[in-house]
């Protein structure tokens, strides 16, 4: 048939891709004229015929499937599915429970949810977003939470105030890592309710806990307390306070180089005060006072916590090595004193030495003004047994060198009957000690020992391990009773002669 011109076409008023048609000419129909045969085709047939179609604006009703199991738009349930024919999420990659990504349906009252599945099992990763919190879960259990408070791993981050940003680790142990506060470097750890904090928050102490109990802290002033909150030490003093009754403090005030150790007391820059943890006796010792020349020990009786202490300087060691007890200036009061334990092999436990002529090695000062004054006492045995003393006999006005002579300490055998023969047996010489300058009458120890062994100490010709002589010594006062007995005998004989 001849070509026909189409005119006066009416507009299509319905929108039905399956029913609305377009006229086309099929030029492949060779049974007709060379111009082809007029046929019809729908929109759906065009979209499904292959190739590329460009739509300025279009709405597709029903499902759009591209190469089954590759991409499907589920228009009924408003879902996009990749790699499967069906799904339960708004956007789902492969079937739920298999490998891939699933985005659950959302609404104003629910949180967006992204699920990622394990290809070989039921384990999956879940990410929940609600605008203020991001929750990351593993197999249904919360693994990590991020919100305005901080980041929690295994727990929600604890709220320690709006200025803190925390990292909570392990919900069971309530662990927290605090990284920053008010833009100030801050590091704080919690575990099992325990806290370790390192940082620089103004007026906040650094505390250390074990077994849910504070064990140590550094306060805002830099004082350290171990097992106790450090007392209110002065700003010029940095203290180490150990336990309930002892502390050391280094003074940093102008002109001060002293370091102090205190028990039951603390220093507030002006006064020593009784420590609040106890009201017993207080003491402290100071090193480095007076430009490092003195080490001193101070004591005070018990008092009320927080009250000022009046210390007494009980002992003083000066730089020259002079040690004074009850004096603040041993060099001035007593002269040079050198004391300490004598080396092994020496004959005593304590030695004293002076460096100047006229100074005493030992000073015994009993300042009592009534009765006799006791200077030194001598004891032996494991059970204290008095052997003698040195004292001042006030009535007689003399120093007495005493040996125990009480009858209760003696076994009396009888009167002396051989005083003359004993005296005659003693050999008296004129001589002088080596190093001395004058002669005097004297006895020889080993000879006197043969007559009166009780009067002599040591053995004739004895030497020490180095071959040095160990000289014998003698107590000549032990001959006094012998002399008295002989004088009495002489008086009796004189009286008999005078009576004739």
Helix (H) or strand (E) holding 195: strand 194-199
Q: pLDDT tens, position by position, for the chain (500 residues)?
A: 444 455 555 665 666 666 666 676 666 655 555 555 667 776 666 666 555 555 556 666 677 677 766 777 777 777 777 777 777 776 776 665 555 666 665 555 566 677 776 655 667 777 777 777 888 887 778 888 887 777 777 666 665 544 445 565 544 444 455 554 444 444 555 544 445 555 555 666 778 888 878 888 888 777 888 877 777 677 666 777 777 666 777 665 444 556 777 888 877 778 888 876 556 788 877 776 554 577 888 888 888 888 888 888 888 887 777 777 777 777 655 554 444 433 334 455 566 666 667 777 778 889 899 999 999 999 999 898 999 999 999 999 999 999 999 999 999 999 998 899 999 999 999 999 999 999 999 999 999 999 999 999 999 999 988 899 999 999 999 999 999 999 999 999 999 999 98
Q: Are 336 and 359 in contact (CB under 8 A)?
A: yes
Distance CA 36, CA 26 (A): 5
What does residue 393 show for φ and ψ, rounded to 5 degrees? -90, 105
What are the structure tokens assigned to 379, written together?
A: 């004891």
Residues 100-143 have pLDDT tens digits of 666 665 555 566 677 776 655 667 777 777 777 888 887 778 88
What is the model's pLDDT at position 377?
92
pTM: 0.45
The DSSP symbol for 461 reads T
User: How many Cβ atoms from other residues are within 10 Å of residue 249's Cβ?
Assistant: 26
Residue with tokens 């002579």: 405
Summarize pLDDT for 1-48 with one digit per residue, the tens: 444 455 555 665 666 666 666 676 666 655 555 555 667 776 666 666
- Count the residues in the chain: 500
Separation between Cα atoms, residue 72 and residue 411, nearest integer Å: 128
**Could you give the CA distance from residue 61 to residue 418 in angstroms, rounded to a whole number?**
152
Distances (CA, A) of 73 to 87, 90, 97, 103, 118: 11, 10, 20, 14, 24
């Amino acid at each position: 048939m001849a070509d026909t011109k189409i005119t006066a076409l009416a507009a299509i008023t319905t929108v039905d891709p399956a029913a609305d048609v377009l006229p086309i000419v099929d030029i492949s129909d060779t049974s007709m004229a060379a111009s082809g045969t007029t046929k019809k085709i729908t929109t759906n047939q065009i979209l499904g015929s292959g190739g590329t179609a460009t739509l300025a604006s279009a709405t597709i009703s029903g499902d759009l499937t591209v190469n089954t199991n590759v991409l499907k738009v589920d228009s009924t349930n408003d879902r996009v599915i990749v790699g499967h024919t069906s799904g339960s999420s708004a956007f789902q990659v492969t079937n739920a429970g298999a490998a891939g990504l699933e985005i659950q349906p959302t609404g104003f009252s629910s949180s967006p949810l992204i699920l990622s599945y394990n290809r070989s099992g039921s384990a999956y990763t879940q990410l929940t977003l609600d605008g203020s919190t991001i929750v990351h879960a593993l197999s249904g259990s919360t693994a990590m939470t991020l919100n305005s408070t901080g980041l929690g791993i295994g727990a929600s981050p604890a709220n320690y105030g709006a200025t803190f940003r925390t990292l909570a680790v392990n919900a069971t142990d309530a662990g927290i890592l605090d990284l920053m506060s008010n833009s100030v470097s801050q590091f704080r750890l919690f575990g099992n309710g325990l806290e370790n904090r390192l940082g620089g928050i103004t007026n906040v102490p650094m505390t250390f806990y074990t077994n849910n109990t504070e064990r140590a802290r550094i306060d805002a002033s830099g004082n350290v307390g171990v097992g106790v909150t450090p007392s209110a030490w002065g700003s010029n003093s940095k203290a180490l306070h150990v336990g309930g009754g002892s502390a050391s403090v280094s003074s940093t005030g102008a002109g001060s180089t002293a370091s102090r150790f205190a028990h039951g007391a603390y220093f507030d820059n002006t006064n020593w005060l009784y420590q609040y943890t106890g009201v017993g006796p207080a003491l402290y010792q100071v090193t480095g006072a007076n430009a490092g020349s003195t080490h001193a020990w101070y004591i005070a009786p018990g008092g009320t916590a927080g009250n000022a202490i009046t210390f007494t300087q009980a002992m003083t060691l000066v730089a020259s090595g002079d040690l004074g007890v009850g004096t603040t200036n041993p060099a001035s009061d007593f002269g040079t004193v050198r004391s300490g334990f004598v080396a092994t092999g020496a004959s005593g436990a304590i030695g004293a030495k002076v460096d100047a002529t006229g100074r005493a090695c030992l000073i015994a000062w009993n300042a009592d003004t009534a009765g006799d004054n006791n200077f030194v006492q001598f004891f032996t045995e494991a059970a204290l047994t008095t052997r003698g003393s040195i004292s001042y006999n006030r009535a007689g006005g003399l120093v007495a060198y005493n040996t125990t002579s009480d009858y209760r300490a003696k076994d009396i055998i009888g009167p002396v009957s051989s005083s003359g023969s004993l005296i005659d047996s003693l050999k008296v010489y004129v001589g002088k000690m080596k190093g001395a300058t004058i002669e005097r009458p004297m006895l020889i120890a080993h000879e006197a020992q043969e007559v009166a062994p009780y009067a002599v100490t040591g053995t004739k010709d004895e030497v020490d391990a180095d071959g040095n002589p160990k000289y014998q010594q003698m107590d000549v006062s032990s001959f006094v009773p012998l002399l008295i007995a002989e004088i009495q005998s002489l008086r009796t004989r004189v009286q008999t002669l005078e009576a004739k």
